[in-house]
Amino acid sequence: MTLAVRYVSARTLDTAPAEPSPPGPGEVELEPAFVGICGTDLHIFHGDMDARVAAPAVLGHEMSGRVVRVGPGVEGWWPGDAVTVMPLRWDDTCPACRSGHQHICQHLDFIGIDSPGAMQQRWTVPASTLIRLPDTLALDRAALVEPTAVAVHDVGRAEVTEGEKAVVVGGGPVGILIALVARAAGAEVRVVELSAHRRLLAEELGLTAWDPAAEDVPALVGEWTAEAGADVAFEVSGAAGGVNTAVDVLGVRGRLCLVAIHPRPREVNLHRFFWRELTLVGARLYDRGDFERAVALVGDGTIPAGRLISKVVPLTQAPAAFEALEGGGDVMKILVDCTTDTEGASA
């Protein structure tokens, strides 16, 4: 018998025994090592996704671990292989899939939301979801490959090129990762973030960060760009004010990449879009190429994953970790150590 962290109802998680499911044809059984808690997991914890999530539900999709067993017909994978999972299962028949966009399948199974996730001691998934990790990459760092893949996809959707000026509105984990990936693509980057703790971390990582509560961000962008405006802005805050800032900083034919999940419709200054011929693009998930690029960026240290990990807790303390993340500003990424079910947390 193994343990799993389950969403039971709004603001209620438990750690319960779970019976491992043996791998069937085309499947592998994994031993998750570390699982990150992300913003979507918090939405589930708050009860905001009850129409989609069938409780009790095992959460978690930002993970690293090792193969334990392989099912019939699985080739190229062996017990002990270090892996992460691209947690997407598509139907290959809907219009999105037929047009080559399987990652936004119209009947997508996002593993960890629509089906059981990684926050358990044994986890069976399709072998097709596995992404190989280099042996030199520590598994705690590797748990940040999935959010880094999000950032790689976002920067790709925004078509960031060398020498461009990019503004990232929202300096949480994904915002910082976007800033780092955009910088690796050759862009000059500024981060807009209310939290002093997160601004300090951004500065320590070599990024310039601005406080929108104390500074006139559009004016600063004007000074920075000789009044041309930014080439691209990423809205990662999920707040109405963040949307306004992201639009206001853009120059002529600038691109706004919408990353955050906005739970309700927002007012947008469409006149600005008309006047400056702006472009809005959505960025939702990722594909295999994004994941492979993310593995390389984390593996070579371009993404200093260790600096983004605020705390590691054992599996049994995962419910308390969700509550700690609600404070937001003083915490970046909390990992759940699925190999430790009692003590062993680290700060």
Query: Do 306 and 293 form a contact (C-beta atoms < 8 A)?
Result: no
Catalytic residue among 2, 12, 15, 40: 40
- φ, ψ of residue 139 to 5 degrees: the values are -70, -30
Answer whether the bond into residue 319 is a cis peptide, omega within 30°. no
Query: Do 116 and 2 form a contact (C-beta atoms < 8 A)?
Result: no
Measured CA to CA, the distance from residue 166 to residue 102 in angstroms comes to: 28
Pinpoint the alpha helices (H) of the chain: 39-45, 95-98, 139-142, 145-157, 173-184, 196-204, 217-224, 240-248, 270-276, 288-299, 305-308, 318-325
Question: Which of 246, 236, 250, 283 lies closest to 268, judged by CA?
Answer: 246
Catalytic residue among 2, 43, 339, 340: 43
Q: Return the residue matching tokens 């009860």.
A: 47
Measure CA 222 to chain center: 30
Question: Which residues 6+ apart lie within 8 Å of 289 measured at CB?
Answer: none
- φ, ψ of residue 207 to 5 degrees: the values are -100, 150
Q: Is 23 exposed, middle or buried (0-12, 13-18, 19+ CB in 10 A)?
A: buried
Taking each helix axis as running N to C, give the angle between helix 288-299 and helix 145-157, from 0 to 180 degrees, rounded to the nearest 10.
120
Active site (annotated) includes residue 43: yes
Q: Where are the beta strands (DSSP E) in the chain?
A: 2-9, 12-18, 27-36, 57-58, 62-70, 82-85, 88-89, 109-110, 123-126, 130-132, 165-169, 188-192, 208-210, 230-235, 250-258, 279-282, 309-314, 333-337
The helix/strand/coil state of 86 is coil
Active site (annotated) includes residue 197: no
Measure CA 49 to chain center: 17
Query: Do 339 and 237 form a contact (C-beta atoms < 8 A)?
Result: no
Q: Which residues are catalytic?
A: 40, 43
